[in-house]
A and B are shown apart, each in its own frame.
Chain A
Amino acid sequence: MARRRGFQVGVAAALVAGLFTLGFAVSAADVTMSGSTTVLPIAQAVAEAYAGIYEIEVSGGGSGVGITNLIDGTTMICDSSRALKAEEYVAAVAKGVYPMMWYVANDALSPIVHPSNPVSNLTIDQLRQIYTGEVTNWSQVGGANIPILVVSRDSSSGTYGSWSDLILKGAAVTTEAVYTSSNADVANEVASNPNAIGYVGLGYLNASVRAVAVNGILATVQTALDRTFPIARPLLMVTNGFPTGKVFDVLMWILSDDGQRLVLEMGFAPIRALP
Chain B
Amino acid sequence: MRRPARALRDDGTAGPPLDLRPIRKAGLRGLITILKERWDRPVFLALASVSLIALGLILFFIFREAAPILRETGLSGFFGTHWNPTGSPASYGALPMIAGSALVTVAALVLAIPLGFAAAAFIAEVAPRWMKDVAKSILELLAGVPSVIYGFFGLMIVAPAFQRAFGLSTGRTALTASVILGIMALPTIASLAEDALTAVPNSYREASMALGASRWQTIRRVTFPAAFSGLIGAAILGMGRAVGETMAVLMVAGNAPQITASLLRPVRTLTSAIALEMGETAMGSTHYHALFALGVVLLIIALVTNGLAEWFRGRLARKHGR
Residues of A within 8 A of B (CB): 1-2, 4, 7-13, 15-16, 19, 37, 60-65, 67-68, 71, 85, 87-88, 91, 147-149, 154-158, 160-161, 164, 170-172, 175-181, 185, 188-189, 192-193, 195-196
Contacts and interface: CB of A to CB of B under 8 A. Distances in A.
Contacts of B281: 62, 64, 156
A147 B169 CA distance: 7
A67 B43 contact: no
Interface stretch (B45-53, B184-192, B232-240, B310-318): B45-53
A180 B255 contact: yes
A195 B172 CA distance: 13
Contacts of B284: 87-88, 91
A9 B45 contact: yes
A179 B254 contact: yes
Contacts of A68: 283
B241 interface: no
Interface in B45-76: 45-47, 49-50, 53
B137 interface: no
A175 B260 CA distance: 11
Contacts of A15: 42-43, 46-47
B170 A172 contact: no
A193 B268 CA distance: 20
Given A2-B2, A88-B283, A155-B84, A178 B53 contact: no
Residue with the highest number of chain B CB atoms closer than 10 Å, among A8, A13, A196: A8
B214 interface: no
Given A87-B285, A154-B277, 14 more contacts: A4-B5, A12-B49, A19-B46, A64-B281, A65-B279, A67-B282, A67-B283, A156-B279, A158-B280, A176-B256, A176-B266, A181-B275, A195-B170, A196-B170
B279 A178 contact: no
B179 to A, nearest CB: 17
Interface string B139-183: 000000000000000010000100100000110100000000000
A64 B283 contact: yes
B3 A1 contact: yes
A117 to B, nearest CB: 13
Interface string B229-267: 000000000000000000000110011111000000110
B285 A85 contact: yes
Contacts of B155: 188
A164 B86 CA distance: 9
Contacts of B87: 155, 170-172
B43 A175 contact: no
Interface string B277-293: 11111111101100000
Given A88-B282, A172-B84, A16 B53 contact: yes
Contacts of B275: 181
A1 B46 contact: no
B57 to A, nearest CB: 10
A181 B250 contact: yes
A179 B41 CA distance: 51
A261 B34 CA distance: 66
A225 to B, nearest CB: 26
B62 to A, nearest CB: 16
B279 A64 contact: yes
Contacts of B5: 1, 4
B300 interface: no
Contacts of A85: 282, 285
A60 B287 CA distance: 20
B85 interface: yes
Contacts of A8: 38, 41-42, 45
A156 B49 contact: no
B268 A179 contact: yes
A97 to B, nearest CB: 12
A161 B284 CA distance: 18
A61 B43 contact: no
A38 to B, nearest CB: 10
Contact of B282 (A64, A148, A155, A192): A64
Contacts of B86: 155-156, 160-161, 164
Contacts of B278: 62, 64, 156
Interface in B207-231: none
A1 B276 contact: no
A130 to B, nearest CB: 13
Contacts of A71: 283
B88 interface: yes
Interface string B21-42: 0000000000000110010011
